[in-house]
Structure 1
Amino acid sequence: MIKKIALSSNTAWSLYNFRHGLISTLLEKGVKVIILAPKDECSEKLAKLGCQVIDLNMSAKGVNPVEDIGLIVRMARMYRRIRPDFIIHYTIKPNIYGSIAAKLAGVASIAVTTGLGYTFVNDNLVAHITRQLYKQSFRFPKEVWFLNNDDRQAFLDYRLVDRYKAMILHSEGINATHFAPQAKPVEDGRLRFLLIARMLWDKGVGEFVEAARHVRKHHPNVVFQLLGACSVPNPSVIGREQIAEWEKEGVIEYLGSMPDVRPMIAQADCMVLPSYREGVPRTLMEAASMAKPLIATNVPGCRDVIREGETGLLCHAKNAVSLAACIERVLAMSAKERQMMGEAGRRFMIERFDEQRIIDQYMQTLERYMA
């Protein structure tokens, strides 16, 4: 059985928040867990769990050949030094350059593709280069995991990965005990629609704002809220100045970012994510687990976590009119109907996305390759 495993991502935050259960299980089994990620607010939390945390100097975005070759060299040296039995890579750069580094260091690895995002939503030069990098690097992992079948099929259609390596991991799982229904912190009679995401145009933030303008003409007391970091390094970023203009207009409330989103989900009446494409959107899973009805776009990833008309509603992507119509449908529901939709969503999360099922898949894979 595996004794030492390395996990690499472009943020320690994502490893702590999305793979906490997996990491805890590995540690409980006596496995030494080594984290390679740029240092952030969760690095210390991972260390307190019992992980060895290595600060990986890496620019999360951008394509600079000199920097990227340097990243491969650094990661290969690290892998030779720490000598893990197995490596799991997450996010674009660790998937691409970490997979090459693992091969150079002679260590078995898998790559987990958590979402296609900018690379497949767009078709510019950067996206083309990234796809070619995927094609070269994905020759090396034992397996490449995708969070939904649409993403897997996209990689197969572009011939970026061998079919026999391409596997499905149904999300990173949800801890339904942690994300459990809560009473609203404040009962003021106002209905709230909440979007939690990084502030990117690709997340459908613009459509959310436009739909809010339309709905508030007829329902001025309805509240539309944005929660998530702005000014993140991404070509699709929405600056703080733009958000301030929307706040001044009175169309949205911006909540910034926060380590624990549960109080804001508890206060909301419906979670909205009009994204252009996702892996499996964590925020929708969290909200559904807390028994909130959902509205999302009928695109890869989003549609995987919604049963149309039962746990939420699906609208057209890049279409504020379609989104507004779904919001109007939720507003027309009685409180009991919204409650029943939310409760159905929680049952669906437990049935299909329970965290333990995902952890079992990881453990079975590790046992298979390390037997």
Structure 2
Amino acid sequence: MGCHCIDLPVASKGTNPIDDLQTLHALYRHYRDLRPDIVFHYTIKPNIYGSIAAWLARTPSVAVTTGLGYVFIQKSRTANIAKLLYRFAFRFPHEVWFLNRDDETAFRSQNLLAHPERARLLHGEGVDLIEFAFTPLPERREFVFVLIGRLLWDKGIGEYVEAARRLRMHAPEARFQLLGPAGVDNPSAISREEVATWESEGVIEYLGETADVRPYIANADCVVLPSYREGVPRTLMEASAMGRPIVATDVPGCREVVEHGVNGLLCEARNPDALATSLARMLDLTFAQRAAMASNGRKKIAKEFDERVVVQRYQKLIREITGLTF
């Protein structure tokens, strides 16, 4: 695509301040040397240290909060420090973009925005409706659930496995799949050995990693994400665009994509009983009812999450800051 990629030292989930200062210095050095017209930062450490580095280099920047993650899930000293860093760093960006209203409300209510007037709601980063084309539901006896994402406890993987244990005895036609990397650099990571234990137990099928999720979504009857908190999960947008009913938790991010009873089902987070009940309900729906959910999901994504609208937002802001047009 002609993109120039630069390696950056980031201890993505580490808490050593020396490592973070190295990240800050590296970003400042790059911005000073490259003199970009504008910088967009994503995820917690680039948002914090990149915003500071861009200000030091006198480079306009935008912070895009793609999800608040463990900082707002857990109550810990590390989380409190992260909030203090957010409060300091977010005085510098030209704008701060949030992908869902719950995250924006959390920042405002906890006084983490030095300039609240700079906050903007992006409502998700969108999905390519051509690449993720509608695919009819498979008509067959077996029923495939798939959970797609990094294998983290915070994604509700444990609840998914426990729900699968409870259902597989009463619904032998149901299969429970996991797709995504194990053992990632995250405090909430699940090891490959733990996944292997579930495989040997016969509870789940682990599909490994992939660069293209579309065949796995197309092969599924329902996509599941029992996460504790999200930005706006791309997995659910892509699944709904392809016409797959969804079971997800009623948490920030997920509820942006899933309208309960319309294109999927929402259940309580951190509750394997509630998840098992929702999965069983999805199994009990008729094919026509699931097909209606599939159609509703595609319509919702086309109306609210078309990637082209998101790109126009980026272009408009770039034009306002730099004067450049596309």
Query: What range is the shorter-chain TM-score in?
Result: over 0.9
Aligned residue in 2 for 1:233: 185
Pairing 1:283–2:283 present: no
Q: 1:292 aligns with which of 230, 238, 244?
A: 244
Aligned residue in 2 for 1:369: 321
Q: Deviations over 1:212-271 (max 9, x none)?
A: 111112102210001110100111111111111111111110111100011010000000
Pairing 1:164–2:117 present: yes
Aligned residue in 2 for 1:176: 129
Contact 1:181-1:266 within 8 A present in 2 as well: no
CA distance in 2, matches of 1:183, 1:336: 12
CA distance in 2, matches of 1:58, 1:236: 18
Aligned residue in 1 for 2:93: 141
Pairing 1:101–2:53 present: yes
1:335 is displaced (CA, Å) by 1.3
Question: Which SS does the other structure have where 1:55 is aligned?
Answer: coil
CA distance in 2, matches of 1:87, 1:284: 27
Aligned residue in 2 for 1:40: none
**Structure 2: 5+ residue runs without aligned partners?**
none
1:61 is displaced (CA, Å) by 1.3
Question: Which SS does the other structure have where 2:5 is aligned?
Answer: strand
Aligned residue in 1 for 2:261: 309
Q: Which residue type is aligned with residue 172 of structure 1?
A: E
Give the total of aligned pairs.
322
1:183 is displaced (CA, Å) by 5.5
**Structure 1: 5+ residue runs without aligned partners?**
1-48
Q: Deviations over 1:333-355 (max 9, x none)?
A: 11121111111100100000000
Contact 2:49-2:89 within 8 A present in 1 as well: yes
1:283 is displaced (CA, Å) by 0.3
Contact 2:9-2:22 within 8 A present in 1 as well: no
Q: Which residue type is aligned with residue 310 of structure 1?
A: V
Aligned residue in 2 for 1:66: 18
CA distance in 1, matches of 2:22, 2:209: 32
Runs of 4+ aligned residues of structure 1 deviating over 6 Å after TM superposition are none
Q: 2:157 aligns with which of 163, 183, 205?
A: 205
The alignment's TM-score, normalised by the length of structure 1, stands at 0.85
Aligned residue in 1 for 2:30: 78
Q: Which residue type is aligned with residue 63 of structure 2?
A: A
Q: Which residue type is aligned with residue 164 of structure 2?
A: A
Aligned residue in 1 for 2:68: 116
CA distance in 2, matches of 1:170, 1:87: 20
1:187 is displaced (CA, Å) by 6.9
Pairing 1:337–2:289 present: yes
CA distance in 2, matches of 1:264, 1:210: 22
Contact 1:271-1:284 within 8 A present in 2 as well: yes
CA distance in 1, matches of 2:71, 2:104: 14
CA distance in 2, matches of 1:285, 1:71: 32
CA distance in 2, matches of 1:170, 1:86: 21
| Mean CA deviation greater in 101-110 or 52-61 | 52-61
Q: Deviations over 1:17-67 (max 9, x none)?
A: xxxxxxxxxxxxxxxxxxxxxxxxxxxxxxxx0112211122211121111
Aligned residue in 2 for 1:89: 41
CA distance in 2, matches of 1:68, 1:57: 9
Question: Which SS does the other structure have where 1:89 is aligned?
Answer: strand
1:140 is displaced (CA, Å) by 0.4
1:181 is displaced (CA, Å) by 2.5
The alignment's TM-score, normalised by the length of structure 2, stands at 0.96
RMSD across aligned positions (CA): 1.2
Aligned residue in 2 for 1:327: 279
Aligned residue in 2 for 1:153: 105
